[in-house]
Structure 1
Amino acid sequence: MTLTKITPAEARARIAEGAALVDIRAADEHARSHIPGALNAPLGTAFNLGDAPAVIYHCRSGMRTDANAAQLAAASPCEAYLLEGGIEAWRQAGLPVITDAKAPLEIMRQVQITAGLLVLLGVIGALTVTPWLIGLSAFVGAGLTFAGLTGWCGMAKLLALMPWNRRAAA
């Protein structure tokens, strides 16, 4: 079963008719910005649509929903659609998006920033201090390769434990 792509305007109309909007991004991405009323159900998690006549899946840009369309179609108990262009297209259409600027950056963005800085420091250190510091860049490269091959990222696990990524007790 293939899923039909719909524009933000079409999605808004279907939502008004009772369709459920499901954000397939990770919880940290959803916390930083989301479409009002969207249910957060990262890929592979179970969710309950209640009696919604249809479901509209979205991600940030539409690439993740496109790449996982077969899995999303199989998980859909009713008529299902993909929001073309994701939350970015929704925002560009002038539709409301809730943004929490105080929420931490998404973990994968933190990994990219940290890994990039460590590689840069390793190269600069190897050129200016001691050639042995190139090992830092090699270590980070090996870690990223391991993460890509296995799906387990030690740097992401470590960053998730940092104080800025912990929710304050309410």
Structure 2
Amino acid sequence: MCSKIDAESLRDRVAAPDAPRLLDVRTPAEFAAAHIPGSYNVPLDTLREHRAELRGSMDDVVLICRTGARASQAERALVEAGMTKVHILEGGIVAWEAAGAPLNRNRSRWDLERQVRLVAGLLVLTGVVGGLLVPGLEWLAAAIGAGLTVAALTNTCMMGMLLAKLPFNRAPACGAESMIAQLRDRRP
């Protein structure tokens, strides 16, 4: 059964003996900066690629991202793989933190969403200002505007997916086999 769960309800469920698995689908860098204690980092691309193996490793799952968009994409992938007990943390890590729930914090990194806003803003500014010197460069701003419109309509972000692959948004990879073994053992 796919559903949303609010931060308070999840907080209660995490304390129960039959707690669900918490899968954080953000980038490793975002996860390293702050995450819910006991959660596992399974980046969205990794989850999509290994959803069949994940299905056999767990029953009840709560998906976590920054605000819920990536978790919704992860939910679709897991449901397509045959999982039935999939939930999304409503409002994501932002709502969890606003509820005063515990977070493990480490080094500070910019959220992927903030990185996208910076890069998009710089590209638009470059297109508009640069267009004064190089005719036609203003079309760069139009292309970024079109890309942001598509991102909003489809609830996906190509720029975010590309930024997630940059070295500073990655952490040391543990490999799919190791990740699945950890999920089976229930050891974070």
> What TM-score, normalized by structure 2, do the two folds share?
0.61
Write the letter of the residue equivalent to 1:6. Answer: I
| Counterpart contact for 1:6–1:82, Cα < 8 Å | yes
Change in CA separation of 1:55 and 1:27 when aligned onto 2, cut-off 3 Å: same
The equivalent of 1:114 in structure 2 is: 119
| Counterpart contact for 2:21–2:62, Cα < 8 Å | yes
- Selected match of 1:93 from 56, 74, 99: 99
Q: How many residues align?
A: 157
Change in CA separation of 1:75 and 1:87 when aligned onto 2, cut-off 3 Å: farther
Q: Superposition RMSD on alpha carbons, in Å? A: 3.8
- Selected match of 2:88 from 71, 79, 82: 82
Deviation at 1:3, TM superposition (A): 0.6
Cα distance in 2 for residues equivalent to 1:167 and 1:83: 23
Larger radius of gyration: 1
Deviation at 1:59, TM superposition (A): 1.7
Cα distance in 1 for residues equivalent to 2:90 and 2:170: 32
Worse-matched range after superposition: 45-54 or 106-115: 45-54
Structure of greater relative contact order (alpha carbons < 8 Å, 6+ residues apart)? 2
| Counterpart contact for 1:23–1:40, Cα < 8 Å | yes
Deviation at 1:146, TM superposition (A): 7.9
Structure 1 or 2: more helix by fraction = 2
Change in CA separation of 1:81 and 1:118 when aligned onto 2, cut-off 3 Å: closer
- Selected match of 2:166 from 160, 163, 169: 160
Gaps of 5+ in 1: none
**1:59-108 Cα distance to aligned partner (Å, 9 max, x none):** 212233335533233446563322222111211111012233433x2456
> What TM-score, normalized by structure 1, do the two folds share?
0.66
Gaps of 5+ in 2: 152-156, 173-188
Identity %: 33
